[in-house]
Homo-oligomer: A and B are copies of this chain.
Amino acid sequence: MTWIPVPDGSPIGVHTLPYGVFSTAHDGRRVGAAIGDHIVDLAAVAGEQGGADPAIFRTSSLNAFMSRGPRVWFAVREWLTRLLMDREHRAAVEPHLVPMPDAVLHLPFEVADYVDFYASRQHAENLGQIFRPDRPELPKAWRHLPIGYHGRSGTVVPSGTDVIRPNGMRADGGAVSYGPSTMLDIEAEVGFVVAVPSALGQPIPVGRFAEHVFGVVLVNDWSARDIQAFEYVPLGPFLGKSFATSISVWVVPLAALEHARVDPPPRDPKPAEYLRDTQPWGLDITLEVSWNGTTVSRPPFAGMYWTAAQQLAHLTANGACVRTGDLYASGTVSGPIREQYGSFLELSWNGTQPVRLADGSTRTFLHDGDRVTISASAPGPGGSRVGLGEVTGTIRPALR
């Protein structure tokens, strides 16, 4: 039990302790940890109490802390847990607790390279059925390797940032025109944050995942389906995705997800040696997608075909290096039934099956003013839940 009053059922308890970057009216950006409705000002506490190097927290991103590696991550988590559990530290720590409403949360890390995968078999199969009903099979490489592509790291934005409906080139029958996307969509994903860099030419074995990856964020990979459909042959998605990618502001360390680890689903064919699991890195995270307040889907992450450990091994299998701040997302998380689909393209089956919201209105793709919130949680110790926070965004009208 922690001495901080954590609201009943809060998934941000002492077993979660995610990290983020916040500022207050009186002080600039610095690193904090969340517990219940409060933020622990780590720079201030470390400066006074010792136990951790305050320099890694007196900065506007998690990059410095993350780059120190697993030994420092575990030591800080242990130190912080002790401070929050032992009443003797209350008097010293309490002055450095910032109520959540007093803080502004920022992008938690400087994004180096951003990669997006495509690892949900159900999602890939749904897209095959929607776009190629005559030959809905998976892309030929899909079961051999985790298909992915690079996205735009400069447009990764923190949860709460409004998203302006993008303009772009679309084909309507034979007519090609430039204008606001009419098929603006979401993709509910889980993102992995790389902390410890690797050297050019040195692949990261699948078993070394946890030595390089610090934690997870929730990702909304906003997608303009009409722009994407017109542009994507042969080089993949570009402007249909690059206008904004939203991430949650709290990075949940892998250490908080130990109880969420599960075996990934069986793979056929057997993966190549560099992709073979050495430890179970499936994660039993349940996402929830809320559209203007109505829960429209609960995508299950546990069923993802390729794990984050395999994705990191694949990403570097050709000798590409990773850097502190690299972000790679899982791809849309979709389960086998409609109530588990992670995109509106799938939920509305390409606009043919509208989704009904609590206010009685219906939707296929996003309207201006719509707000989408993706939240998630995972099993913690002793039947508790570990919260992954949320990523939210509201659609603003296209520029004229």
Q: Which residues of A are at the interface with B, using a C-beta cutoff of 8 A? A: 112-113, 118, 139-141, 144-145, 147-155, 157, 164, 166-169, 171, 176-178, 200-201, 203, 224, 227, 230-240, 242-244, 272-274, 314-315, 317-323, 326, 399
Q: Looking at the complex, which one of B141, B148, B237, B274 makes contact with A230 (CB distance below 8 Å)?
A: B141
Known A113-B154, A203-B399, A274-B178: A167·B319 in contact at CB below 8 Å:
yes
Q: Could you name 29 residue pairs across A and B whose Cβ atoms are closer than 8 Å?
A: A113-B153, A118-B235, A139-B233, A141-B231, A141-B233, A144-B176, A144-B230, A149-B149, A149-B150, A149-B238, A150-B150, A150-B238, A150-B242, A152-B320, A153-B153, A154-B326, A155-B200, A157-B200, A164-B200, A164-B201, A164-B319, A167-B318, A168-B317, A201-B399, A232-B236, A235-B236, A239-B314, A239-B317, A243-B319
Q: Which of B112, B235, B240, B243 contacts A153 (CB 8 A)?
A: B112
Residues from chain B with Cβ under 8 Å of A244 in the complex: 200, 319
Could you say which residues of chain B place their CB within 8 Å of the CB of A317? 167-168, 178, 239
- Rounded to whole angstroms, the CA-CA distance of A317 and B232 in the bound complex is 16
Q: Which of B224, B233, B320, B399 contacts A154 (CB 8 A)?
A: B320
The answer to whether B239 touches A154, judged by C-beta atoms less than 8 angstroms apart, is no
A230: B residues at CB distance < 8 A: 140-141, 144
Further pairs besides A168-B317, A243-B319, A243-B320: 11, Cβ < 8 Å? A118-B235, A144-B176, A147-B231, A148-B235, A149-B235, A164-B200, A166-B319, A234-B236, A239-B320, A242-B320, A243-B318
- Which residue on chain B has the smallest CB distance to residue A198? B154
Cα A273 to Cα B167 in complex, Å, equals: 13
- Determine how close the nearest CB of chain B comes to the CB of A208; give it in whole angstroms: 16
Each complex incorporates copies of this chain amounting to: 2
With beta carbons under 8 angstroms apart, the residue of B145, B227, B320 that contacts A318 is B227
Which of B153, B201, B224, B318 is close to A242, meaning CB atoms less than 8 Å apart? B318
Query: In the complex, A155 Cα to B149 Cα: how many Å?
Result: 15
> Of all chain B residues, which has the CB nearest A272?
B178
Complex-state Cα separation, A45 to B272, whole angstroms = 57
Q: Which of A148, A244, A272, A319 has the most chain B CB within a 10 Å cutoff?
A: A319
B148–A238 contact, CB under 8 A? yes
The answer to whether A154 and B231 touch across the interface, beta carbons within 8 angstroms, is: no
Taking a contact as CB atoms closer than 8 A, the residue among B166, B171, B227, B237 that contacts A140 in the complex is B171
Whether the pair B152, A150 counts as a contact (CB closer than 8 A) is: yes
* A171 and B139 alpha carbons, distance in the complex (Å): 13
Complex CA distance for A234 and B238, rounded to whole angstroms = 12
Choose among B238, B272, B318, B321 the residue that contacts A166 (Cβ–Cβ < 8 A): B318
* Interfacial chain B residues near A154, Cβ < 8 Å: 112-113, 320-323, 326
Min CB distance A321 to B, Å, is 6
**Assembly CA distance A399 to B118 (angstroms):** 27
What residues of B have a CB within 8 angstroms of the CB of A112 in the complex? 153-154
Q: In the complex, what distance in Å separates the CA atom of A151 from the CA atom of B318?
A: 14
For A236, list chain B residues within 8 Å (CB): 149, 232, 234-237
Q: Which residues of B contact A314 (CB under 8 A)?
A: 239
**Which 10 residue pairs are nearest across A and B when measured between Cβ atoms?**
A236-B236, A166-B318, A149-B235, A150-B150, A239-B318, A235-B236, A243-B318, A178-B272, A242-B320, A164-B201
Alpha-carbon separation in the docked complex, A151 to B238 (Å):
11
CB distance from A60 to the nearest CB of B (A): 16
A322 to B154, CA, bound (A): 7
Residues on the B chain within 8 Å of A227, using CB: 318
Q: CB distance A235 to B147 under 8 Å?
A: yes
Contacts of A144 in B (CB 8 A): 169, 176, 230
**Complex contacts, A243 vs chain B, CB 8 Å:** 318-320
